[in-house]
Copies of this chain bind each other. A is one copy, B any other.
Amino acid sequence: MKVVLLGAGNVATNLGLSLKKYGIEILQIYSKTEKSAKTLGELLGASYCYSLKKIKRNADIYIYALKDNVLEEVISKINIPEAVHIHTAGSIPINIFENKVKNYGVIYPLQTFSKEKQVDFKEIPLFLEANSDYTNKIITQFACFLSSKIYYLASDKRALLHLSAVFACNFSNFMYLLAAKITDEANLDYKILLPLIKETADKLNYLTPKQAQTGPAIRKDYKTIEKHLKLLKNTPELKEIYALITNSVINTLSEK
């Protein structure tokens, strides 16, 4: 099973490293910038190119781990209709491939990827979609190399899952970032927060997020909330976020 990997960002880097680890042949890396293509190519010991015209035509699978906004254009320009084409984007429907290639599908890894920290795909839930039984077989076989957690999910539900992941990951990480701004202000190292952050995440192995919710908002402790809003009076953006989320916690729990 020979693979061409298009992209050299966070997803492509982590995916490439896992492909290599599991012995899948990476024929070539493509990225539109020479430097990125070269960096990932060398990391994976694979050839690389930075022109779509130079993409090798003899791979079995073409994986598009590109930014969402360039995906359509790149797919249109590849023109290797007989291979299997797979994108990895949570928010892009499968029909982006329609009328461009014969065999296509999606493998959406539900995970956050950074180049600086390698993750193992083994435990990552992969959400698959394919345009035919034939493609489905190939994509499933390929996905099984990477992970033991394979699910099938249609584009509309994948879009919701991706949105959900933005809250669960990107927004929760941004809460860490804002927390770190505040510890900075107090001349404390944000790393002091790590046991708290770890426990907050770990709790969900035992409790639902509703059961796990603690803090002044769920206690309707308006006195503490007022104190916090005062502490944030010089940072109106943080204050607005604090107020909105606090109100939402209170509203969500009065729904009970």
Contact = CB atoms under 8 A, between A and B. Distances in A.
B113 A214 contact: yes
A18 B122 CA distance: 36
A117 B67 contact: no
Contacts of A228: 91, 163, 166
A240 B206 CA distance: 30
Nearest to A168: B179
Contact of A244 (B124, B207, B231, B240): B240
How many copies of this kind of chain does the complex include? 2
A216 B162 CA distance: 10
Contacts of A114: 203, 207, 211-212, 214
A205 interface: yes
A240 to B, nearest CB: 7
Contact of A214 (B68, B173, B211): B173
A245 B171 contact: yes
A175 interface: yes
A209 interface: yes
Contact of A175 (B175, B179, B215, B217): B175
A39 interface: no
A208 B181 CA distance: 11
B248 A111 contact: no
Contacts of A195: 110-111, 123-125
A151 B201 CA distance: 24
3 A-B pairs with least C-beta separation: A170-B215, A168-B179, A177-B209
